[in-house]
Structure 1
Amino acid sequence: MMTTAKNRICLWYDGDAEEAARFYASLFPDSAVDAVHRAPADYPAGKQGDVLTVEFRVMGIPCLGLNGGPEVSHSWTFSFQVATQTQAETDHYWHAIIESGGQGSECGWCQDKWGISWQITPSPSPRRSQIPRPRLNGRLGTPETTRPPQRVALCLWVVSPSARRDYLA
């Protein structure tokens, strides 16, 4: 029997909480959709059977997806930070999010198609080559070929104190 966490993240969606939860569960380890709660009857904003909330886990973090409507949108001020061990893992997560309708940014940041922000960052000691590599003409580029060296250094400075030492050494 699953116990209810004392603290979990509540994420607001515009009717597609279940789709988002299933995407996260398919992409990340230790992730799953635990429960889908449907409306027992028609209500002012919807019909019986509509998904109201979804209980799920993302990398072990308990979450609640709330189908609250279009009134609220996400921002970059909240993000999931995913620590990766290899360049392949870094690229896998970042590109899965981007290629599923999301948008990329710098320093390992991206947003999924629902507007949730993600930081896909190498751990524990990222090196320049482990920052997500955008695709150039269908092939992966390197940080040095896709952004100025100053931006790579800034990304590493933000990600990890040990990366600062490694990059500046």
Structure 2
Amino acid sequence: MSQKITPFLWFGGRLGEAIELYTSTFPDSEVLETVDRDGQLFTANFRIGGIEVSGMNVPEGPVFNEAISLVVDCDDQAEVDRYWEALTAGGGREDRCGWLVDPFGVSWQITPRRLIELVNDPDPARAQRAMEEMLTQNKIDIAAIERAADG
């Protein structure tokens, strides 16, 4: 299967580090192709979590911002915790409501399926309580959101 759309990310001279972090963090990940220029990694195609991504090393290029983020669909709290720890390690930073910025400046949303279920609950009061709790969190705590939803 070939992807119709491939994200293309510019890394400020740290493409190799980013590939190492991403391919070691996400299952179904691998380096597909690299191109060196003047003895340095210049571009790479790699797969993370089954999605092909292209990257380029551009030390003087633009920086990432939160206008674009990558959403990670998580099965449970253990998966949330694992991705959160891996992507904030080494200089990443936490943000609100399940968002984080990794050490390379890429924004991620670490989103458990249970959160989506709770904030879309057919009972509007229950959904509102879940949403209000989520808004107080950085890394999503599913149990706390369930408790809040239940009142």
Range into which the TM-score falls when normalised by the shorter chain:
0.7 to 0.9
How far is 1:4 from its partner?
6.2
Q: What is residue 132 of structure 1 aligned with on the other side?
A: none
What is the TM-score of this pair, normalised by structure 2? 0.75
Q: What is residue 127 of structure 2 aligned with on the other side?
A: none
Which structure 1 segments of 5+ residues have no match? Answer: 40-47, 128-148
Q: Structure 1 pair 88/51, CA: closer, same or farther in 2 (3 Å)?
A: same
Q: Structure 1 pair 77/168, CA: closer, same or farther in 2 (3 Å)?
A: farther
Kindly report the root-mean-square deviation, in angstroms, between the aligned alpha carbons of the 2 structures: 2.8
Residues 13 and 70, structure 1, Cα contact 8 Å, conserved in 2: no
Alignment equivalent of 1:16, drawn from 11, 14, 17? 14
Q: What is residue 104 of structure 2 aligned with on the other side?
A: 114
Alignment equivalent of 1:97, drawn from 67, 71, 87? 87
CA deviations 1:44-74 (Å, max 9, x no partner) are: xxxx211110111111111111112233000
Looking at structure 2, the residues matched to 153 and 122 of structure 1 have their Cα atoms a distance apart, in angstroms, of 12
Looking at structure 2, the residues matched to 85 and 66 of structure 1 have their Cα atoms a distance apart, in angstroms, of 31
Looking at structure 1, the residues matched to 135 and 21 of structure 2 have their Cα atoms a distance apart, in angstroms, of 31
Q: Structure 1 pair 85/4, CA: closer, same or farther in 2 (3 Å)?
A: closer
Does residue 1:56 correspond to 2:54, yes or no?
no
Looking at structure 1, the residues matched to 9 and 48 of structure 2 have their Cα atoms a distance apart, in angstroms, of 12
Task: Give the aligned residue type for 2:149.
Answer: Y
Looking at structure 1, the residues matched to 24 and 54 of structure 2 have their Cα atoms a distance apart, in angstroms, of 17
Q: What is residue 71 of structure 2 aligned with on the other side?
A: 81
What is the TM-score of this pair, normalised by structure 1? 0.67
- Aligned pair count reads 131
